[in-house]
Amino acid sequence: MYMKKIICVVGTRPEAIKMAPVIQRLLKESWADVKVLATAQHRQMLDQVLKLFKITPDRDLNVMAPNQTLVSLTAKLLTELDIVFKEERPDAVLAQGDTTTVMAVALCCFYNRIPFGHVEAGLRTGDIWNPYPEEMNRVVAGHLAKWHFAPTDGASQNLVRQGISPESIYMTGNTVIDALLSVSKKEGALDVPINDNKRLILVTSHRRENFGKPFEEICRALLHLVKNNQDVEILYPVHPNPNVREVAYKLLGDNSRIHLCEPLDYLPFVNAMKRAYLILSDSGGVQEEAPALAKPVLVLRRETERPEAVDYGVVKLVGTDFEDIVSEAQRLLDDPEYYSQMAKGVSPYGDGFASERITQVLKQALSGS
């Protein structure tokens, strides 16, 4: 039997985290000739994750430029991906999520008539501006995929509502839980100078729709929270996007109980989540991981494509208004009963076997067994 060539594409930090378990699992299959293609839409943050999971890309497009625009990034990706796909002629291509890399991969597969498998398919808010541009990226990827690997029942239903054939949708769980469980087993110190006697609020923020005033409001709320709670410290690994970084350091860089640092490697970040009392974040991945670690998350967004944890009452949407962030965080700091309701461990996004299910679907489809 001929081996089937599968190209697994990774562009940004979260794609690498969520594709790593799929790549590692597919590499065990004798029928699969697995190639890893890094677009390097992110450079340093992608490399951090690839190193942790011991993945060396076979091809690297190295497309990242400082403060890149969506258009220049997309144009570069399409041109470069086309060259690789024509040279490699894969039997299938896989990509995860809703970044510009994923949208460009799906489109380039379509133009080259290559079957595309979408990992983490079917997430939707229904609003193309929230999150921007991710909602439209995943709509495009969803219409072009041959295999849709949906993390939850709700995601599968979103796809059916958009006219996707149910036979092409596979409910697998989210591979982020595979990654989280494998990394949680490892030892590793949280190498940041936080005070063990204080309650830790962990913060991440990077969404484009929050740039400008919303992000400034978030920073003001963080300052207010440390000022009014002497027993609280904030740890904030700052995303390298200049629209985030410059403002964060300008507004928060001067407070002894707010620790700004470079993006943490995945293992120390998981340890930081475990150590945190409370998490404030606009990240997609963090909304999935924190409930599995029994940590409450206040989501700094108006909408989420991940409603399951909100329905369980362990994640709450607070938006980006100063008053709302402060009052919700303060309630969690002051009310132990309310806190414990939000700190119950649930894992609506997966059981750690998503990569196994994805592998079995591809095995059946590509090798016929």
Which residue among 13, 124, 206, 306 is the active-site one? 206
Q: Which residue reads 């996707």 in tokens?
A: 164
Task: Tell me whether residue 171 or residue 267 sits nearer to ligand UD1 (CB atom).
Answer: 267
Contacted entry of ligand UDP, ligand UD1, none for residue 27, CB cut-off 5 to 8 Å set by kind: none
Task: Tell me whether residue 90 or residue 237 sits nearer to ligand UDP (CB atom).
Answer: 237
Q: Which residue reads 């002629």 in tokens?
A: 89
Which residue among 15, 120, 265, 289 is the active-site one? 120
Which residues, 87 to 126, sit near ligand UD1 by CB under 6 A?
A: 99-100
Ordered strands of the 315-317 beta sheet: 258-261, 232-237, 199-204, 278-281, 297-299, 315-317
Task: Tell me whether residue 273 or residue 325 sits nearer to ligand UDP (CB atom).
Answer: 273
Count of residues touching ligand UD1 (by CB under 6 A): 23
Residues 20, 24: Cα–Cα separation, whole Å:
6
Dihedrals φ, ψ of 262, to 5°? -65, 160
Beta strand spans in the chain (E): 4-10, 32-38, 59-60, 92-96, 116-119, 147-150, 169-171, 199-204, 232-237, 258-261, 278-281, 297-299, 315-317
Which residue among 80, 98, 217, 282 is the active-site one? 98
Based on the number of CB atoms within 10 Å of its own CB, is 184 exposed (0-12), middle (13-18) or buried (19 or more)? Answer: middle
Dihedrals φ, ψ of 17, to 5°? -60, -45
Contacted entry of ligand UDP, ligand UD1, none for residue 269, CB cut-off 5 to 8 Å set by kind: ligand UDP
- Map residues 48-77 to x or -, x wherever contact with ligand UD1 holds by CB under 6 A: ----------------xxxxx-x--x----
Binding site for ligand UDP (CB under 6 A): 13-14, 17, 204, 206, 237, 263-264, 266, 269, 283-286, 289
Which residues, 121 to 160, sit near ligand UD1 by CB under 6 A?
A: 133-134
Task: Tell me whether residue 17 or residue 219 sits nearer to ligand UDP (CB atom).
Answer: 17
Task: Tell me whether residue 241 or residue 255 sits nearer to ligand UD1 (CB atom).
Answer: 241
Contact present, 7 and 90 (Cβ < 8 Å): yes
Which residue among 15, 134, 289, 328 is the active-site one? 134
Buried b (16+ CB within 10 A) or exposed e, 70-87: eeebbebbeebbeebbee
Contacted entry of ligand UDP, ligand UD1, none for residue 42, CB cut-off 5 to 8 Å set by kind: ligand UD1
Residues 71, 221: Cα–Cα separation, whole Å:
33
- Report the catalytic residues: 98, 120, 134, 206, 208, 239
Which residues are near ligand UD1 by CB under 6 A? 12-14, 41-45, 64-68, 70, 73, 99-100, 133-134, 206, 240-242
